[in-house]
């Protein structure tokens, strides 16, 4: 039995072709093999996710690249799932950043009574 130190090392060992969507991301994108036998590399999927802002543009890229007949029922849905997971994570991260900026703009921890320097 092999013991892994972290969950990430286990995931990487299980599928070394999977790519993490970002440094702090929890989404892993794996190579995807179509029923037609063609394999879409995880790097291409991540590139398309980053290049397109909408689900429709993302799907159209793969239709243009591989042809609409290349995708069996439900195959494009699995690629779209990767897209939606990454975009949801990005929106959540943006919301956290906006929340921090708003806190800083409102003064946050600054300007409290303890911060006053009174020379008496």
> What are the domain boundaries of the chain?
12-103
pLDDT score, position 61 = 92
pLDDT score, position 55 = 92
pLDDT score, position 97 = 75
Q: Could you please report the per-residue DSSP string of 36-103?
A: TS-EE-HHHHHHHHHH-SSHHHHHHHHHHHH-GGGPPTTHHHHHHHHHHHHHHHHHHHHHHHHHHHHH
pTM: 0.64
Handedness of CA 34, 68, 49, 38 (dihedral sign): positive
Q: Which residues contact 71 (CB under 8 A, 6 or more apart)?
A: 34, 62, 63
- By DSSP bridging, strand 32-33 and strand 39-40 are antiparallel
Residue with tokens 């790519």: 19
pLDDT in tens, the chain (120 residues): 666 566 665 555 445 556 666 666 777 888 888 887 888 888 888 899 889 999 999 999 998 988 888 888 788 888 899 899 888 888 888 787 777 777 776 765 555 555 666 676
pLDDT score, position 56 = 93
pLDDT score, position 107 = 63
């Amino acid at each position: 039995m092999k013991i892994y130190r972290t969950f990430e090392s286990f995931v990487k060992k299980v599928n070394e072709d999977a790519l993490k969507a970002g440094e702090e991301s929890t989404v892993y994108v794996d190579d995807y093999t179509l029923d037609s036998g063609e394999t879409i590399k995880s790097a291409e999927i991540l590139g398309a996710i980053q290049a397109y802002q909408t689900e429709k543009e993302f799907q159209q890229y793969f239709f243009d690249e591989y042809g609409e007949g290349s995708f069996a029922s439900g195959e494009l849905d699995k690629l779209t799932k990767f897209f939606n997971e990454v975009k949801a994570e990005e929106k959540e991260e943006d919301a956290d950043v906006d929340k921090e900026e708003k806190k800083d703009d409102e003064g946050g921890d600054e300007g409290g009574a303890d911060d006053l320097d009174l020379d008496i």
